[in-house]
Every structure is written in C-alpha cells, then in structure tokens.
Amino acid sequence: MKKILTLFLFVAMAATSYGHALWIETNTNGQKGVAQKVKVFFGEYGTKEIDSAAKWYSNLKEFKLVLTSPNGSKQALKTKAGVFHYEADFTPTQDGQYTLSIVHQVKDLYENAKIDYYALANVFVGSAKLADQLGNDVTLSIAPAQTSFVTGQESAHAVKLNQSAFKNQKLTVVGPEKKSETINTNSNGLLNFTPKQKGTYFLEAFYEEKKSGSQAGKNYDKIWHVATYTRQAL
C-alpha cells in the first residue's frame, strides 16, 4: 500500500509540473498614445494555480519580455515583480501589430527533461495587418491567422514547430469560464475553434523532443517545449 501511495504521489507531482506554464496577459486591442499594461504569470492557468512571483521555479525570474513593433524594431521591456506576477508597460506610437514574446530556457532540469518556455501575445492598434514577427528563435509557436476574434465566429490560429505546421496535434484551450478542452490542429497546423463568450482565451501547445545533452552539469534525455498564447474575444 505504501508503494502504491508513493507511486500516486509521484504521478501527481509529475502531472502538476507538466501543467505549469509561463504566459502573458494584456489587452488585445490598444491605442496610440495610451499606455498598455502587460502582466506575466507562471503556474497552471486552467486551475487558477498561480505561483507567487517570489517562488518562481529555477531561473524563471531572469526572463526577458521582448516587444516587437509594427516596423520590426525590438526592445526589452523593463519588468517589476508583483505578488503573483511581473508587470511592464509600453505606449504604442503607431498603428499595426505589436508582438510580446518570452523565450526562456529553464536552468534546472525536471525528471531528466530540459524545459523551454515560449509565451506569446499580440496587441493590435488601428488598422493592423498580421505579420510574422517571431523569427527563428521560437521553436514552438502559436499565432493568430486572422486579426478578428469574435464570439460566435470560428477563429483560426497557426501553430508551428521549427517554422513548420504543427499538424494533427493536441492543444489545450481554456476560456473565460476556466474550463479546459483539448482541440487538435488540422493537417495545415491550424487550430480552429469558436469562442463562446467574451473574455480572455488561453492556448497552450506542448512538444517533447527526444534529445540528449548536458545543462548545468546534469544530463537530460528530452526537451519539453511549452508554448502559450493569450488573446481576448470581443
């Protein structure tokens, strides 16, 4: 019985860590000349388990929040720690698509796995057109395939692994009511779903890469790529 309980505890711990992710929250629609607040969280979005910023795992506090402007220029935003999140802001100066991104390699291994986090979000200002602003440094990504995201209308998001379509793969979608559902991408790597109510939607993709290596003096035999994307339905 003791062995069985220990096994259950191990599985529960693994599942909890597996579900942890880094994500960005901000208003999807912005205005020129108006400050845009940005928050960065770590935890389990679907179960509302948000880790205290003071206790973030490993070197997560060293993340860099990068803003890519419509003209392609990039800048690292200064962040400030709150109780359950980090916060930053920027003021849009032009119409178009702004991309917020975090690409972070976790220093410490978990169960012989190296973890790479990719947190993504967009801000659309004025008559914005979609643009691929991520580049090759994002191994696993989620991006909108259309600027509109309206309740009751089907919306598409492009999911890519190493710049190629992430075909027929399971993704997690969590709506404003915090109910989690699993939706597969299609043969073109598109995630199609219809938002049922207004509010923030959380999308998460996961890929386990079978690859061995060494990091911080320890060996790993796989890499967990975890990508998140958040946006608001109108």
CA angle 227, 135, 217 (to 5 degrees): 60
For residues 122 and 96, give the distance between their C-alpha atoms in angstroms, rounded to a whole number: 10
pTM for this one?
Answer: 0.90
What CATH number corresponds to the domain at position 100?
Answer: 2.60.40.10
Q: What band does 9 get if pLDDT is binned at 50, 70 and 90? A: very low
For the chain, how many structural domains are there in total?
Answer: 1
Looking at every residue in the chain, the average pLDDT score rounds to 90
Q: What band does 210 get if pLDDT is binned at 50, 70 and 90? A: very high
Q: What is the pLDDT of residues 27-82, one digit of tens each?
A: 999 999 999 999 999 999 988 889 999 999 999 999 999 999 999 999 999 999 99
Domain range for 14 = 2-233
Kindly tell me if the per-residue pLDDT of 6 is higher than 90.
no
**pLDDT of 134:** 85
DSSP output for 179-216 = -EEEEE--TTSEEEE---SSEEEEEEEEEEE---EEET
Query: Among residues of the chain, what percentage have pLDDT more than 70?
Result: 92
**pLDDT of 213:** 95
For residues 37 and 40, give the distance between their C-alpha atoms in angstroms, rounded to a whole number: 10
Kindly tell me if the per-residue pLDDT of 7 is higher than 80.
no
Q: What is the pLDDT of residues 167-205, one digit of tens each?
A: 999 999 999 998 899 999 999 999 999 999 999 999 999
**pLDDT of 10:** 36
Kindly tell me if the per-residue pLDDT of 13 is higher than 70.
no
**pLDDT of 5:** 37
For residues 152 and 143, give the distance between their C-alpha atoms in angstroms, rounded to a whole number: 20
**pLDDT of 157:** 97
**pLDDT of 18:** 47
Half-sphere exposure of 214 (CA within 13 A, CB side): 3
Q: Which of 1-15, 104-118, 142-156, 202-216 has the lowest mean pLDDT?
A: 1-15
Q: Which of 84, 92, 105 minimizes the C-alpha distance to 40?
A: 84
Mean pLDDT (whole number) for 91-118: 96
